[in-house]
Amino acid sequence: MENIRAELIKTALEWEARFSVIPQITSAISEYDAAMLVGCTEDQYSHIMIGRTAVTKGSDFVYNKKRYQIKANRPSGKPGSFVTLVGAAKNYNWDLLIWILYDREFNIQEAWQFDCIKYKELFEKKKRLSPDDMRKGKRLA
């Protein structure tokens, strides 16, 4: 799978170089990467994703009876493209949230995990989340 991940990223980066805007692959890559970070194997991940869609409500995947919600950011590498805004969870139908910060080539720079209760306590009333907010979780990478 690592090979297919690399091919997807290579193709997306080539597309971006040619047409200026990268295809939206961050969600798919980050869900896969998060699963690997928590110990899921590629075969397990493939199996647990059967029947899921890109718009499945609640969690992004379930592993070891835990529902995971994944958020991720990647700067484009263009001038002024620093990550300053992190998307907030829109629901709390999950047990653990993982936020991943990538570099331009989708190499993981940081990954942080929150349980739902702690995340809600810290951010439910906050209007804008930043990378510094996400660094209040448990570091995974």
Long-range contacts of 51-59 (CB under 8 A, 24+ apart): 54/27, 54/28, 57/91, 57/93, 58/91, 58/93, 58/94, 59/93, 59/94, 59/95
- Cβ neighbours of residue 101 closer than 8 Å, sequence gap 6 or more: 72, 73, 74, 83, 108, 109, 110, 111, 131, 134
Query: Can you give the pLDDT of all 141 residues of the chain as single tens digits?
Result: 568 999 999 999 999 999 999 999 999 999 999 999 999 999 999 999 998 887 778 899 999 999 999 999 999 777 777 899 999 999 999 999 999 999 999 999 999 999 999 999 999 999 999 999 999 999 999
Q: For 108-136, what is each residue's pLDDT tens digit?
A: 999 999 999 999 999 999 999 999 999 99
The DSSP secondary structure of 90-126, one letter per residue, reads S----SEEEEEEE-TTS-EEEEEEEEHHHHHHHHTT-
Six token digits for residue 63: 């592993």
Q: What is the pLDDT of residue 2?
A: 65
Question: How far, in whole angstroms, is CA 126 from its chain's centroid?
Answer: 20
CA angle 83, 89, 94 (to 5 degrees): 130
| pLDDT score at 82 | 85
Mean pLDDT of the chain: 94
The model's pTM: 0.93
